[in-house]
Amino acid sequence: MSDETPHPAAAPTFSSREAAALPRRSATISVLVENESGVLARVIGLFAGRGYNIDSLTVASVDAGGSRSRINIVTSGSDMVIEQIKAQLTRLVPVYRIAELSQEGPHLARELAMVKVISDGANRAEALRLAEAFRARVIDATVESFVFELTGGTQKLDSFIELLRPIGLAEVSRTGVAAIARGTRMLSSKH
């Protein structure tokens, strides 16, 4: 077909079982759902019940009336498993649309961390220098502690936290990944 829009009944094909089963990869999937009672439990239950991984999960309502929520899931598995995850999610009654952002084109993925450091002396100064290098903001300070706020990709947050570990890292709170496609592509209604 010359038309780029796939037929609604199109299903993915694999060259072989071996190709489908290997290797494992990471996938960022966004799911637009009806904001009804139990919908998050339904999505999480699907992952738990079928033995899929959840590396990160975020959820919030995304329209003015609060009737639709967007769930962003970072998961991993073989191509075959990830296609299964997408098919199983699509099958849920309150799901409007899903998109695998990591496959369908360039996308942005960000998370936010709040990181508490308790230290003194040189370590305290070093923590501040690192925060500056990572463009983390100080959102709380006492004589013994800082709370930094840092936004960015998962790896950036991971490395910031690792660097703070020997100099007084005390506590971390992270949001998990929010993701969106670059350009004009949208996760709107599937119809």
Distance of CA 80 to the CA centre of its chain: 20
With CA atoms as reference, report the closest residue to 176 among 96, 67, 57.
57
The closest of 50, 84, 53, 56 to 72, measured between CA atoms, is: 56
Task: Compute the distance between CA of residue 108 and CA of residue 106 in angstroms, rounded to an integer.
Answer: 7
CB of 94 to other proteins, least distance (A): 6
Nearer to other proteins, 83 or 111 (CB): 83
| Segment lying near other proteins (by CB under 8 A), choices 69-77, 84-92, 151-159, 180-188 | 84-92
Contact between 175 and other proteins per CB under 8 A? no
Interface with other proteins (CB under 8 A), residue from 58, 78, 84, 151:
84
Instruction: Tell me whether residue 31 is exposed, middle or buried, using C-beta atoms within 10 angstroms of its C-beta: 0 to 12, 13 to 18, 19 or more.
Output: buried
Tokens encoding 59: 């959820």
Return the range that interacts with other proteins (CB under 8 A); candidates 87-95, 123-131, 159-167, 178-186: 87-95
Q: Which stretch binds other proteins (CB under 8 A): 86-94, 108-116, 123-131, 154-162?
A: 86-94
- Rounded to whole angstroms, the Cα distance separating 44 from 88 reads 12
| Contact set with other proteins (CB under 8 A) | 1, 7-14, 16-17, 20, 33-34, 37-38, 41-42, 45, 49, 80, 83-84, 87-88, 90-91, 93-96, 190-191
